C-alpha cells in the first residue's frame, strides 16, 4: 500500500498524503469498505442516506468555523483544528462510500469535472475573479 506510480497522469492519480504514507483513492475506498463490512453497515448505505450523511458531516465541519472573523484565526478556537481534521476525514469517508455505492470512479469524476470547470471558467476570463461563469 502507498507506492507511487510515476507513470500515471497526475490528475488521474489523485493521492492523499498522510504523514510519510500515501494512499490512493482505491486504497482508501478499500479500507473504508473493510471498516463497513466488519460492522455490517453497508446495509444502511443507500445513496440517499450517504448523500444525507455527507451533508451532515460537511455541516459539522462548517460549524467549527462559525462566527470566525474575516481577519481572525480560522477556526476561531485553536482547539478546533484537530476536530476540523476529523470532520474532513468524515466528509471524505462519506464521499468514498457514496461514490462506491453509486459505482462512480471518483478520481476520474474529479478529472472530468475539472475539464468542465475549465471550459466554464477559462483562465483568460476567470483569473483572479470570483464571479460565476455567467457573470464573467
Ligand atoms: Mg463528524
pLDDT band for position 20 (cuts 50, 70, 90): low
**13 C-alpha to center of ligand 1: Å?**
27
Q: Which residue has the cell 471498516?
A: 35
Q: How do residues 49-106 score in pLDDT, each as one tens digit?
A: 999 999 999 999 999 999 999 899 999 998 999 999 999 999 999 999 999 999 999 9
Q: How far is CA 131 from CA 93, 114, 121, 127, 135, in A?
A: 31, 17, 10, 10, 6
CA atoms within 13 A on the CB side of 108: 6
Q: How do residues 65-80 score in pLDDT, each as one tens digit?
A: 999 998 999 999 989 9
3-state SS, 17-44, equals: EECCEEEEHHHHHHHHHHHHHHHCCHHH
Rounded (10°) angle between helices 106-120 and 81-101: 100
Ligand 1 is an ion; residues with CB less than 5 A from it = 57, 60, 90
Amino acid at each position: 500500500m502507498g507506492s507511487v506510480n510515476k507513470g500515471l497522469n497526475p490528475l488521474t492519480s489523485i493521492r492523499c498524503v498522510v504523514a510519510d504514507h500515501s494512499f490512493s483513492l482505491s486504497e482508501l475506498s478499500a479500507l473504508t469498505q473493510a471498516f463497513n463490512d466488519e460492522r455490517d453497515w453497508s446495509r444502511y448505505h443507500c445513496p440517499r442516506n450517504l448523500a444525507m450523511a455527507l451533508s451532515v458531516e460537511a455541516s459539522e465541519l462548517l460549524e467549527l468555523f462559525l462566527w470566525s472573523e474575516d481577519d481572525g484565526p480560522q477556526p476561531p478556537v485553536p482547539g478546533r483544528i484537530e476536530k476540523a481534521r476529523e470532520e474532513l476525514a468524515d466528509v471524505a469517508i462519506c464521499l468514498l462510500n457514496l461514490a462506491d455505492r453509486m459505482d462512480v470512479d471518483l478520481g476520474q469524476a474529479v478529472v472530468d469535472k475539472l475539464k468542465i470547470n475549465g471550459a466554464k471558467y477559462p483562465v483568460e476570463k476567470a483569473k483572479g475573479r470570483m464571479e460565476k461563469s455567467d457573470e464573467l
